[in-house]
Amino acid sequence: MNASLTPRPVRRARIASLATYVPPKVLSNADLEKMVDTSDEWIRQRTGIRERHIVDPGVATSDLAAAASREAIARAGLTPSDIDFIVVGTTTPDMLFPSTACLLQAKLGADHAWGYDLLAACSGFTYALTTASQMVASGASRYALVVGADVMSSIIDYTDRTTCVLFGDGAGAVIVEASDGEAGMIDFLNYVDGHGGDALCMPAGGSLRPASKETIEGRLHYVKQDGQSVFRFAVRNTEDACRRLLERNGIDASHIDLFVSHQANQRIIRSAAEKLGIPDEKVVINIERFGNTTAGTIPLALNDAVDEGRLKAGDLLLVASVGAGFTVSAILMRWGLKA
């Protein structure tokens, strides 16, 4: 038999290391009170957010991605040359093209890697992790770098109180490699409901409405959203995706050690967790410090959980996200970083 036709054995992919980066500048609720008609009390009650980090002018998504990636590569005991595949989940690429993955490859000196960007909004990290895991499990990639990074402050209208209080900037990176034990991805359930596109979007700047005087005057290069319909969809589908994923793996929610959901709104996370029967002590919420960093929230939440000793080797982890599109993702994995 021709060796090239021999199927590669399917292995399990696991997260070998994790690192995050947020820019140092903090934008607090008190700062926003001076910019728009809002209050610290309203923001905390409705969203759980106290502050978020934002970049200085000239700092781009690839800069945040590079800072997180360098650390993740070092923590895995690797060098940039060991990376053979890069996926960057982002909604705010440095430019429409070339991809942020290409810019990141150059910044890191990851001279053996190919890669691309993946646009799934708030599900950017989970979709990228799912994709890279298939590459590793098939044997097509040995060390994949998966990044979730966004500079949301570059597309937020700081005169619109309904959106500007929600978002922050940040990045997280993981190395995905083949697992030699129980640790790793068990299953994932991702889907899209493209009918929800209008509920959360940036109307101009793409091929439909290229940048023009009219689009700029109409403030169409900023995030627009129907908050309530996004909220309802997020609660219903976070629960639905997780429930179906658990059911098809024969796992009861009580066996989940930690639930890490996209951090869009504390009320969305608590409501979904409650419907799933996951108690508060198993739910990670760090939105108060970072706001919604879009593709950055899941690695930022995982990182806090590890630092706080809440996520340990062998734990059964349920990850979920809902984002613009709409995109939905639920991932089940057995945690196990390199020692």
x-or-dash string of contact with ligand ACO, 72-111, rule CB under 6 A: ----------------------------------------
DSSP assignment of 57-111 equals: TT--HHHHHHHHHHHHHHHTT--GGG--EEEEE-SS-SSSSS-HHHHHHHHHT-T
Q: Is 122 an annotated catalytic residue?
A: yes
- The reply to whether 52 sits near ligand ACO by the rule CB under 6 A is no
- Alpha carbon 270 to chain centroid distance? 18
Contact region for ligand ACO (CB under 6 A) — 145-153, 157-165, 172-180, 329-337?
A: 157-165
The pairing of strands 224-225 and 200-201 is antiparallel
Q: Is 292 an annotated catalytic residue?
A: yes
Single out the residue of 67, 86, 88, 166 in contact with ligand ACO (rule: CB under 6 A). Answer: 166
- The residue annotated as part of the active site, out of 29, 102, 122, 164, is 122
What CA–CA distance (Å, rounded) separates 254 from 276?
9
Write the single-letter amino acid at 333.
M
Helix (H, G, I), strand (E, B) or coil at 3: helix
Number of residues that bind ligand ACO (CB under 6 A): 24
- The reply to whether 34 sits near ligand ACO by the rule CB under 6 A is no
Q: Is 102 an annotated catalytic residue?
A: no
Contact region for ligand ACO (CB under 6 A) — 50-58, 85-93, 183-191, 224-232?
A: 224-232
- The reply to whether 189 sits near ligand ACO by the rule CB under 6 A is no
Minimum Å gap between C-beta 226 and ligand ACO is 8
Single out the residue of 134, 138, 162, 271 in contact with ligand ACO (rule: CB under 6 A). Answer: 162
Q: How many CA atoms lie within 13 A of 289 on its CB side?
A: 12
Q: Which helix (H) or strand (E) holds 133?
A: helix 124-138
Do 287 and 48 touch, CB atoms closer than 8 A? yes
Helix (H, G, I), strand (E, B) or coil at 187: strand
- The reply to whether 266 sits near ligand ACO by the rule CB under 6 A is no
- The reply to whether 327 sits near ligand ACO by the rule CB under 6 A is no
Q: Which helix (H) or strand (E) holds 327?
A: strand 327-334
- The reply to whether 323 sits near ligand ACO by the rule CB under 6 A is yes
- The reply to whether 264 sits near ligand ACO by the rule CB under 6 A is yes
Of 120 and 176, the one with the shorter C-beta distance to ligand ACO is 120
Written as six digits, the tokens of 193 are 């409901």
Minimum Å gap between C-beta 289 and ligand ACO is 16
What CA–CA distance (Å, rounded) separates 248 from 204?
40
Minimum Å gap between C-beta 160 and ligand ACO is 9
The pairing of strands 13-21 and 169-178 is antiparallel
The residues that bridge with 173 in the sheet, in sequence order, are 19, 147
Would you name the residues annotated as active-site residues? 122, 262, 292
**Chain positions contacting ligand ACO, by CB under 6 A:** 38, 42-43, 46-47, 122, 161-162, 165-166, 200, 225, 227-228, 230-231, 234, 262, 264-265, 292, 322-324
